[in-house]
Amino acid sequence: MADELVKGGYKDVGYEYVNIDDCWPLVNRDAKGFLVADPKRFPSGIKALADYVHSKGLKLGIYGDFGTKTCGGYPGSKFYMEQDANTFASWGIDSLKLDGCYSRIEDMPFGYPIMEFYLNQTGRPILYSCSWPAYTATPDYKAIANSCNIWRNYDDIQDSWDSVSGIVEFYGANKLNFSHIAGPGRFNDPDMLIIGNFGLSHNQQRYQMAMWAIMASPLYMSNDLRRMPEESKAILLNKNVIAINQDPLGVQGNRIIKQGDIEVWTRPLQGNSVGVLFSCIGGATTAQVKLALTNIGLTNPSGYNLTEVFEGRFVGIFKPNESLSISIDPYDVFLVKAAQL
């Protein structure tokens, strides 16, 4: 996958982490309590793999668990946090996802910050991905953001439209107003991109990429880059959409309109611009949408220059009281950047 990130042009547009998920170690620690990579799956060890990934100009991530075991039944980091943090740093790890299986929820407000402390003590920059809020009924997002760089707060994504749309609805409802916590260095993580797999149509793949851009979501691909359909690859490599996702302000977008199958989301961008996403999440025919800019929060009297993001196509110059008329196919999106004049 590291080779394919480089060869396929993914590294050139910003994808940089190759992340190992659960089940990478042996089921038991060694006599001194150290984690040991499965020698059949990683015959040269994790350090050698990290060195190889780094030689490609990329970064290596790994998986752990706050509890006594990982979700797959492998050794967790409870009672070994300092030792594991030092192990990961010595291997050259650049990112740690810390899950929450086989743990006590009441311990999480203490345990996750402890691992943050030990990761920082290593002196190695390690992106810290927490599953803390995913296990908590009423997460303390301020505390979570103080310790974690990104955090999962909903169900694991599956390769299906129902899964993607369910995650988006959770983010659209925005209970506890978790969107306002997001910013540079701290982001909500709705889970991986499943573009290029089997469960989404072409329109639905465009929808996921656009939604993850508006929601300021980490862009982790869960797919086989060796077998990537060209139309899916084009979506994942779209520089204009990635630019919306990676906007330096780091503000998470929010849903401002939900009427039947039609939704409108907006996200503030740098340079007095706004990302606006119109989506059609169902139906069997093309939807016609007509809205005045004032109805979607675009009220600057001088007006806006609108550009369609996927193709970079000029849409027009609009005053706030003027209406934008668009057509959206079922399960598709119309993503625009509105630059203030």
**Averaged over 69-74, what is the pLDDT?**
98
CA–CA separation, 204 vs 191, rounded Å?
Answer: 16
pLDDT at 182: 98
pLDDT at 178: 97
User: In b/e form, how buried is each residue of 63-87, taking b as 16+ CB within 10 angstroms?
Assistant: bbbbbebbbeebbbbbebbbbbbbb
pLDDT at 218: 98
Q: 143: pLDDT confidence band, cut at 50, 70 and 90?
A: very high
pLDDT at 296: 96
Could you report the per-residue pLDDT of 185-240, keeping only the tens digit for each? 999 999 999 999 999 999 999 999 999 999 999 999 999 999 999 999 999 999 99
Tokens of residue 261, six digits: 């199958």
Counting Cα atoms < 13 Å in the Cβ hemisphere of 202 gives 6
Q: pTM to 2 decimals? A: 0.97
Short-list 36, 18, 44, CA closest to 223: 18
The residues that are catalytic are: 99, 156
**pLDDT, mean over the chain:** 97
pLDDT at 315: 98
**Averaged over 241-249, what is the pLDDT?**
98
**Averaged over 52-73, what is the pLDDT?**
98
